[in-house]
Amino acid sequence: MFVNYHNYIFFILYLSPRKKTFIMRYYLLTLLTITSLSLNAQSVAKQIQNAKGEISRNNYRGAIKILEPVVDISSNNKEAVMLTGFCYLNIGGEEEKAWRYLEKAAALNPLGEKPSLEALETHFYLAESLHQNNRFEQAIAIYEKLLTLTKSSQKKLTDAIHIEMQYSKNAIEMVKKPRDFKIYPLGNAINTIYEEHSPLVALDESTIYFTSNRPVDGIESENGEYFENIYVSYWREGKWTDAQLLELPGDYFGNRATVSLSTDGNTLIIYQNDGYAGSLFVTQYSFRGWSEPVPLPVNSSNFNETHACFSADGTEIWFSSDRPGGMGGKDIYVSYQLPDGRWGEAINAGANVNTEMDDDSPFLSADGTRLFYSSEGGNSMGGFDIFVNAGREEDGSWLKGENIGYPVNTANDDVFYLPTPDGQRVYYSSRRMGGVGESDIYVIVYPDEDARALSAVAGYVFNPDEKPNDNAVIKVTDSDGAQHGIYRPNPLTGKFVAILPTGVDYKFEVEAEGFKPHTVAVPVPLNDVYGTRQRATYIPNIILENQ
């Protein structure tokens, strides 16, 4: 991106073609040419220019390092102080530092009756930092003052002020009506001082995949940070194992990020970005391990698709794209699989889902009745909030999306909301105050009395020699004979997972060539979801008999 250092510029910049679904909304500050008279001033000016170069590459920590001696030596340098605050504003978990530096910068650069654009921007960033520190009324007061001082020709600045002020107003209303649940970080086995985001959890919650930009073999990306990579952790003996890098085949050098996991856990959608362009890819798990990623069918070479998920039966792909013809920014689309196996034309999800701003990271519930996604529009309380469309009209269109509320949504960006099939827990990533790193992964736990309608039932199918059966078919029916799905076990482990309504008695019929049919009765009582809040309910191992 070209930045003109000799003119005042104010515009919205999205950090990268993709920070996975963690695509952040930031404002690029005015970059000014400094004319210095003394040798010391020239040295300070050079360091500030170097810091601006790092900022233009989104390397905010690198810019802070360059600015540290400048701010220390010349603490009254309003530009250096403002730049430092701006950098902290763009680093998760540093909200208070951002506010302290920007408050000082605003004092050094008061608005006055005819403020400079630099003064306007400094106070704009101060208001943003107040918002991120949950000081919404103070932020609104600054935004209102800024509106009285901006000129009609400064439309981009004025539009940004209106957007941010509305976020603060929305936040005030959201905080008044907090939802009843608890939020827990996943712990140091998952979260680090770096970015962790975009969690994908197996239906029985035995495995979690996620994205992190933690160091890998000392390889740094172009902007001075480490590339994003995919990590995996397993639930063992009541806790998550230390996350390990997920090795995928193929000669690839760039960012890789988690996007979606199929219901059987054998298909992984990922995002790959080599620093210049990125697209969605699919990798399959088999006896040989994960396959080399291949492009997702809905990819467009001309536009940016940043997230996608399959429906539980694999016949729908829901994805986000900035292709033309949308409702504004990035929109959510769906493509249906045709009888011949090809994928149909992308269909916009409509006005009850998409807004005039960015809408991203769709996730379709296991029963297909709820669509979760992140949006900057609607009544968001700060950048991206999580929304849900809880049902459809008779014509198949979604009901109006609703903000899922505070404290899941915060004054910062909240994205990638992944509920368990019963809805009793939710995995998601957020930049929350008090976190370990820039963004962390959390789990939301609803109260016991807040029962959900679905349960995950898991089991294993083995041959008489106790080796996994790789060709069994499990048909699930209820007491009335209605079918509730056909499942196949993982050929490597023999494991299968079924998502079923609670309060029903089921019959699991297992058939495999060369073996006798096997039937298991499985009652799934009401309010006994996930084995009394302990992840999936497991049935006894199914051992097939030879014919």
Q: Name the band, by pLDDT with cuts 50, 70 and 90, for residue 527.
A: low
pLDDT of residue 174: 93
Least confident of 4-8, 18-22, 234-238, 308-312: 4-8
**Domain boundaries in the chain?**
11-176, 182-445, 454-543
Q: Is the pLDDT of residue 38 over 80?
A: no
Strands of 359-364's sheet, edge to edge? 359-364, 370-375, 385-390, 402-403
- Give the class (CATH, top level) of 182-445: mainly beta
Overall average pLDDT of the 131-160 stretch: 93
Residue 84's nearest CA partner among 49, 121, 53, 51 is 51
In which element (H, E) is residue 253 found? none
Report the half-sphere exposure of 295 (CA within 13 A, side-chain side).
8
Q: Is the pLDDT of residue 37 over 90?
A: no
Q: Name the band, by pLDDT with cuts 50, 70 and 90, for residue 218.
A: low
- Decide: residue 141, CB within 10 A, 0-12 exposed, 13-18 middle, 19+ buried: middle
- What residues contact 480, with CB distance under 8 A and at least 6 apart? none
Arch. (CATH architecture) of 454-543: Sandwich (2.60)
Please provide the distance, in angstroms rounded to a whole number, between the alpha carbons at the two ends of the chain: 68
Which 3 state secondary structure label does DSSP give 182?
Answer: strand
Distance of alpha carbon 78 from alpha carbon 84, whole angstroms: 10
Q: What is the pTM of this model?
A: 0.75
11-176: CATH superfamily: Tetratricopeptide repeat domain (1.25.40.10)
Round the average pLDDT of the chain to a whole number and report it. Answer: 82
pLDDT of residue 212: 94
In which element (H, E) is residue 324 found? none
Using the 8-state DSSP alphabet, how is residue 131 labeled?
Answer: H
Q: Tell whether the torsion through CA atoms of 533, 211, 99 and 409 is positive or negative.
A: negative
Residue 92's nearest CA partner among 360, 414, 404, 361 is 414
Distance of alpha carbon 359 from alpha carbon 364, whole angstroms: 14
Query: Residues 278, 218: contact at Cβ < 8 Å?
Result: no
Q: What does the pLDDT look like over 367-406, one tens digit per residue?
A: 788 899 999 998 999 889 999 998 888 777 899 999 988 9
Distance of alpha carbon 179 from alpha carbon 407, whole angstroms: 7
SS3 content of the chain, % helix, strand, coil (to 5): 20, 35, 45
